[in-house]
Amino acid sequence: MAPIRNAAVIFAEVPTGYPEAGKHLKYVQDRTIDLDTVDVQDGIVTKNLVVSIDPYMRGRMRDADKKSYSFEFTLNEPLQNFFVGKIVKSGNTNFPVGQYVYGMGVYEEYTVHPKASTDHLRLLSEAQLKAGLQLTTWVGAAGMPGQTAYHGFYDIGEPKKGDTIFITGASGAVGQIVGQLAKREGLTVIGSAGSDDKVKWLKEELNFDHAFNYKTADVKAELAKFKPLNIYFDNVGGDQLEAALDAADNHARFIECGMISQYNERDAHGIRNLFLVVAKRIKLQGFIVFDKFSDPEFFEGFYSKIPKWIVSGELKIKEDVTKGLEKAPEAIIGIFRGNNFGKAVIQIAEDN
């Protein structure tokens, strides 16, 4: 066979505010791979089927000399994120051709994973495949965002039946799972989102006790309708974090998952009522789910429950699937504007 196209989305320039398609993130087609001659050694080659879009990616779009919890993207190289791929060539008997793998991948059509990278990939088992989840879900509710919801809610939130929880970004990949876990545990669940459609879905499909559009509602007034907050699951920071501090009960737990409202702002919003952390004895704790990736017990607990609940319909999920890698730059930028409705994911190729 001759070399075939291996299109990719490239990190072309470090953005200072919102990234722009074609400038900071570029779709490029003039790359090839020759599957016959590529030297796989003891690694594998995957045909990439789906790749995830997650807010934390904004933090990776930075200068190489700035440290953070995630590796920065390399300039002029493709973006990376969680993916599902099918093995098309293998030099490793643990990863046979034809099997599906998931883990950290690359925004391109085919990827050569050296042995060191395969150590961090997992095979989708026969049982997992038979469960019947869409492949996209293994990077969503049954993947990193689902793990983020599960870890943050249980381990940091310390939920108790009867508690009141407020979730921002509630229709997003993480928020939608947190809200449903909280309903399961008998909490009163309040969510905010950025459109009336999302709010309607939270109320009617996910049975949130209350939901509102933070762009048009008075956040403080909405929260004042309920008992003081015992838990706040923060995906956005900024004004809504301030409102949650005002509405918090004594000894509230603030699960600090992300502050997407701040990621693209050059001048971050100052939180002016942080003194309430003292007066109300609030625990405000940040976490990164990657810290749990070396904990087999955590994965066992997660994978024994979440995929099953999704299949049975106990856990409803909403995914916002964009087809085609060429649309990825716009789709990535869209999540910082709240354009996605549900878990954002790119379908790179059909599974055939």
The residue among 132 and 290 lying less far from its own copies, judged by its C-beta, is 290
Residue 336's CB is within 10 A of a number of other CB atoms, namely 18
Taking the least distance from each CB to its own copies, the nearer of 284 and 306 is 284
Angle at 276 (CA atoms; ends 275, 279), nearest 5 degrees: 100
Q: How far is the CB of 270 from its own copies (least distance, A)?
A: 2
**Complex with its own copies: residue 277 or 311, whichever CB lies closer:** 277
User: Which C-beta is closer to its own copies: that of 107 or that of 263?
Assistant: 263
Q: How far is the CB of 267 from its own copies (least distance, A)?
A: 7
**What CA–CA distance (Å, rounded) separates 166 from 182?**
10
By beta-carbon proximity to its own copies, the closer residue of 96 and 290 is 290
CB of 71 to its own copies, least distance (A): 13
Angle at CA 260, nearest 5°, toward 145 and 300?
A: 15
Please state the closest distance from residue 144 (CB atom) to its own copies, in A: 15
Q: How far is the CB of 141 from its own copies (least distance, A)?
A: 21
From its phi and psi, is residue 186 left (phi > 0), alpha (psi between -120 and 50) or beta?
Answer: left
Between 47 and 280, CB nearer to its own copies: 280
Smallest separation (angstroms) from its own copies to the CB of 282: 5
Distance, in Å, from the CA atom of 107 to the CA atom of 193, rounded to the nearest integer, reads 28
Beta strands in 69-163 (DSSP E): 80-90, 100-106, 110-113, 122-123
CB-based burial label for 33 (10 Å; 0-12, 13-18, 19+): middle
Closer by beta carbon to its own copies, 31 or else 62: 62
Residues 176, 146: Cα–Cα separation, whole Å? 9
Query: What is the phi/psi pair of residue 158, to 5°?
Result: 45, 60
Shortest distance in whole angstroms from residue 318 CB to its own copies: 24
Torsion sign (Cα): 273, 275, 279, 283: positive
Cβ 263 to its own copies shortest distance, Å: 8
The residue ranges that bind its own copies (CB under 8 A) are 59, 68-69, 237, 241, 250, 256-259, 262-263, 267-288, 291
- Expressed in angstroms, the distance from the first to the final Cα of the chain is 18
Nearer to its own copies, 205 or 291 (CB): 291
Smallest Cα–Cα separation from 279: which of 239, 240, 248, 241? 248
Q: Which is nearer to its own copies, 163 or 234 (CB)?
A: 234
Closest separation in Å from C-beta 250 to its own copies? 7
If one counts every other C-beta atom within 10 angstroms of the C-beta of residue 119, the result is 10
CA distance 52 to 80: 9
State which amino acid sits at residue 44.
I
